[in-house]
Amino acid sequence: MSSGEVQVLRDRMVTLRDGVNLATDVYLPAGYRVGVDAPLPTILERTPYGKTELSRSEIGAGMDGPMARPQVAAHFVRAGYAVVYQDCRGRHSSEGVFTKYTSEGPDGYDTVAWITAQPWSNGKVGTMGLSYAAHTQFALACLNPPGLACMVVDSGGFSNAYHCGIRQGGAFELKQATWAFNQAKESPAALADPKVLAALEAEDLRAWFAAMPWRPGHSPVRAVPDYEAYLFEQWTNGSFGDYWKQLGIYAEGWYGTFPDIPIVLLSSWYDAYVRTTMENYAALTGNGRKGPVKLIMGPWLHGNRNTTFAGDTEFGPVATIDGNVTASWLDFRRRWFDRWLKGIGNGAEAEPAARLFLMGGGSGRRTAEGRLDHGGRWIAAADWPLPGTVFTDYHLHADGRLDAAAPEVEEASIAYQFDPANPVPTIGGALTSGQPVFEGGGFDQTEGERFFGCRRPGLPLSSRPDVVVFETEPLERDMAVVGPIEVRLFVSSDAPDTDFTAKLIDVHPPTADDPKGFALNLTDGILRCRYRDSWENPSPMEPGRVYAITIEPFATANLFKAGHRIRLDISSSNFPKYDVNPNSGEPEGTGRLKRVATNRIHLGRAHPSKIVLPVVPVESLTPVPKPGQG
């Protein structure tokens, strides 16, 4: 098939080592003569979302709608590349059974081997793709296939899915449940049998979320047993064992053999893959590796690199990647591939190691669309964390203060009751794939009917008795917090197991638009206390015993303006972002017995709980040059 400047070799079946065939489309220049004309460098994307379908993230600034993958392919074909799109195993036109993540390593390796053996291939392959198509890239790269020359990894690529992407701090990320349900509707079973699809369409997923825990055979995904099975495997494998060391979800185990090739790592502060992006950057730089590895972090939701907002928070026209970091995302990738697949000396390697969007600095008023003008700007750095970062302790005090002063009293504590039947509702955050139950982004931390689980619309989360608030006085000068965050608490409980959560908030002062102010969530984290000492060997808590725990919210980059407050909220749930701990100590994902726990935060000199903030001098921050300005 040919059209205009492109010809397509449609549905070429790539036979894998186990005999399964994967449907693959190859895009070549129109008139290209296979075996006669010079072979071409190749760009590969492997996706579960349909190799010919619209890609929601392939939308540039000013476009009316997203491009389909064939349109993206045509862009690169015109630049002198062969482009390959492939349906993952068990998805759309490919054979086999889909098991999320764990077959992508060998399947990807075999696909690269197939490409490099084709007469139209010159043996050099670059990969690209967002989200699952980022995971597929990292999975195949772990096996270091011959021919893999460079990568553009967009919002994904598991460093360790136990700590980011499937679980976090021992808790289960419930985006996996919404994703399984939504994608089951496009499974082979649903596409082949209208009754299966009708069964899924008849389910009320929000009602099911209110009825957790689910059980195998009694869940909204039960009509597609393969999808239900992998979901419960993820959910019930609570401790870090062999399950979590599988290829495809554990690049940490393959960093030693990971190819030393040029890689772009892109994500955003309200994305679900902040930690994995930073861990991959740390592992793939230094230690004699030449790379180069480039890091780009925007302020957006997952893959929304050309939007200017996340949730109810507006960052301004400078927030998009198009026109601010690069002329366009298509142009950025073509330039990267030109440098490393064609050897064109365009200076891509000389660009800053890290380009980060520093949120904050806006007016604090509402825009015409009703969003908070939080503002921000792009900054450049030679590394991550930024050179010159000062990791600064801010102590939690019994009177609710948060400041650099050490506790004055020897012993102090704050106790609250955590009822798993009434969890703290999720209001935004670093989330993806949560519809129709939840969504990510920056929001005022006030309950509302649009947020799942809210029972008291109009009241701030800080009014709940199970949310303990610590905040600074209004800042006297601007303060840039850029880097990884740690919350180190001393805690106790009367339950054998419980959770502790932490949320970092930028408290905007009152304005005419928000007379009560605006408590903007920046980042949050969780720790399931059975894993306080070991991810491999969980152990129950002893009633009343004080434990030192560390919660690791995702990294962030925010300018707290003078007059704002820095706030830290501590609680024991954040649902439905994470599953709710029943406090009973029952096995992961199966606990029907719920009990109310009395949880306590210890704050005195003997147990100095604190948050460690990465503070960077504002005057040291370097702006990213506009495209074309050098």
pLDDT digit string, tens, across residues 74-120: 999 999 999 999 999 999 999 999 989 999 999 999 999 999 999 99
Residue 627's pLDDT band (cuts 50, 70, 90): confident
Q: Which residue has the tokens 């967009």?
A: 154
470, 402 in Cβ contact below 8 A? yes
pLDDT, tens digit, for every residue of 200-230?
999 999 999 999 999 999 999 999 999 999 9
Whether the pLDDT of residue 64 is over 90: the answer is no
Sort 254 into a burial class: Cβ within 10 Å, 0-12 / 13-18 / 19+: middle
Average pLDDT for 343-355? 96
The residue type at 36: V
pLDDT at 4 over 80: no
Residue 383, pLDDT above cutoff 90: yes
146-179 confidence digits (pLDDT tens) = 999 999 999 999 999 999 999 999 999 999 999 9
* Helices vs strands, H then E, count in the chain: 10, 30
Tell me the angle at which helices 175-184 and 225-236 cross, rounded to the nearest 10 degrees.
Answer: 170
Amino acid 1: pLDDT: 44
> 595 near 582, Cβ under 8 Å?
yes
CA distances from 432 to 111, 213, 300, 302 (A): 28, 21, 11, 6
Q: What angle do CA 187, 232, 102 make, to 5 degrees?
A: 65
Which has the minimum average pLDDT: 47-56, 461-470, 494-503, 598-607? 47-56
Is residue 630 predicted with pLDDT exceeding 80? no
The residue written with tokens 């198009």 in the block is 322
Identify whether the C-beta of residue 3 lies closer than 8 Å to the C-beta of residue 77: no
Torsions phi, psi for 35 (to 5 deg): 85, -10
β-bridge partners, 598: 417
Residue 2, pLDDT score: 46
Distances (CA, A) of 445 to 40, 481, 508, 554, 558: 52, 20, 12, 18, 17
Q: Which residues of 209-237 are buried (b: 16+ CB within 10 A; e: fewer)?
A: beebbbeeeebbbbbbebbbebbbebbeb
For residue range 399-416, list pLDDT tens digits in order: 999 999 999 999 999 999
CA atoms of 59 and 55, how far apart (whole Å): 8
The proportion of the chain whose per-residue pLDDT surpasses 70, expressed as a percent, equals 99
CA 355 vs. chain centroid, Å, equals 17
**pLDDT of 328:** 96
pLDDT at 3 exceeding the cut of 70:
no
> If pLDDT is split at 50, 70 and 90, which confidence band does 629 have?
low
The answer to whether the Cα torsion of 302, 307, 313, 319 is positive or negative is: positive
Longest dimension (CA), the chain: 82
Give the mean model confidence (pLDDT) for residues 233-262: 97
What long-range pairs does 451-460 form, CB within 8 A, spacing at least 24? 451/425, 451/426, 451/427, 452/206, 452/209, 452/425, 452/426, 452/576, 453/210, 453/423, 453/425, 453/426, 453/575, 453/576, 454/425, 454/427, 455/422, 455/425, 460/516, 460/519
pLDDT at 521 over 60: yes
Q: What is the pLDDT of residue 179?
A: 94
In this structure, the number of other CB atoms found within 10 A of the CB of residue 390 comes to: 10
The pLDDT score that the predictor gives to residue 61 is 83
Q: How far apart are CA 185 and CA 581, in angstroms?
A: 29
Tokens of 482: 């850029």
**How long is the chain?**
630
Does residue 1 or residue 344 have the better pLDDT?
A: 344
Nearest CA to 300 out of 291, 308, 290, 292 is that of 308
What are the two backbone dihedrals, phi and then psi, of residue 306, each rounded to the nearest 5 degrees?
A: -120, 25
The pTM of the full predicted model, rounded to 2 decimals, is 0.96
Q: What is the mean pLDDT of the chain?
A: 96
DSSP state string for 400-463: SBEESSPPSSS--EEEEEE-TTSPPBP-SBS--S-TTT---BB-BSB--TTSTT-SSTTSBGGG
The residue type of 60 is G
250: pLDDT strictly greater than 60: yes
Q: Which residue has the tokens 């009602």?
A: 207
**CA atoms 178, 179, 183, 189: torsion sign:** negative
Positive/negative CA dihedral, 509, 510, 513, 515 = positive
- Determine the pLDDT at residue 57: 87
Q: Shortest CA distance to 58 belongs to which of 46, 69, 47?
A: 69
With vertex at residue 574, the alpha carbon angle to CA 570 and CA 576, rounded to the nearest 5 degrees, is 175
H-run or E-run covering 394: strand 390-396
Residue found under tokens 């980022």:
134
Q: Would you state the pLDDT for residue 460? A: 98
- 622, pLDDT greater than 80: yes
